[in-house]
Amino acid sequence: MPQEIRRRQFLSAISGGLGCTIAGAALGANRLARGIEPIVRTGKPHFKFSLAAYSYRDLLSGDMPALTLFDFIADCARFGLDGTELTSYYFPTLTDDAFVRSLKQACFRLGLDVSGTAVGNDFCHPEGPDRQRELAHVETWIRLADILGAPVIRIFSGSAKGEAAEAHSLAVAGIQESCRIAEQAGIYLALENHGGLTETAEGMLALVQEVDSPAFGVNLDTGNFHSADLYGDLERLAPYAVNVQIKVMVSSQGGPKEPADFDRLARILTQSGYRGYIVLEYEEEPDPREACPRYLDQLRAAFSAAERG
The predicted-structure confidence for 62-77, as pLDDT tens digits, reads as follows 989 999 999 999 999 9
Q: What is the pLDDT of residues 82-110, one digit of tens each?
A: 999 999 999 987 778 999 999 999 999 99
pLDDT of residue 31 exceeding 50, the answer is no
Closest CA to 196 of 123, 88, 87, 116: 123
Closest CA to 85 of 56, 57, 50: 50
Which residue segment(s) compose the domain that 103 sits in? 3-308
Query: Which helix (H) or strand (E) segment is 41 a member of?
Result: strand 39-41
pTM: predicted TM-score of the whole model, two decimal places: 0.88
Percent of the residues in the chain that have a pLDDT greater than 90, as a whole number = 84
Q: CATH number, domain at 112?
A: 3.20.20.150
Considering only residues 24 and 170, tell me which one the structure prediction assigns the higher pLDDT: 170
pLDDT of residue 27 exceeding 60, the answer is no
pLDDT of residue 208 exceeding 80, the answer is yes
Strands 258-259 and 249-250: antiparallel
Which residues sit opposite 46 in a β-bridge? 275
**DSSP, res 130:** H
Residue 73 carries which side chain, given as an amino acid letter?
A: I
Percent of the residues in the chain that have a pLDDT greater than 70, as a whole number = 89
C-beta pairs of 262-268 under 8 Å, 24+ apart in sequence: 262/298, 262/299, 262/302, 262/303, 263/302, 263/305, 263/306, 264/231, 265/222, 265/231, 265/234, 265/302, 266/302, 266/303, 266/305, 266/306, 266/307, 267/306, 268/231, 268/234, 268/235, 268/238
Domain count, the chain: 1
pLDDT-derived band at 14, boundaries 50, 70, 90: very low
pLDDT of residue 7 exceeding 90, the answer is no
Distance CA 59, CA 288 (A): 9
Mean pLDDT, range 175-190, rounded to an integer:
98
The helix, strand and coil proportions of the chain, stated in percent and rounded to the nearest 5, come to 45, 15, 40
pLDDT of residue 204 exceeding 60, the answer is yes
H helices present in 186-213, as ranges: 201-208
Rounded to a whole number of angstroms, the distance between the first and last alpha carbons of the chain is: 43
Distance CA 197, CA 194 (A): 8
pLDDT of residue 93: 76
Q: What is the pLDDT of residues 231-245, one digit of tens each?
A: 999 999 999 999 999
3-state secondary structure of 202: helix
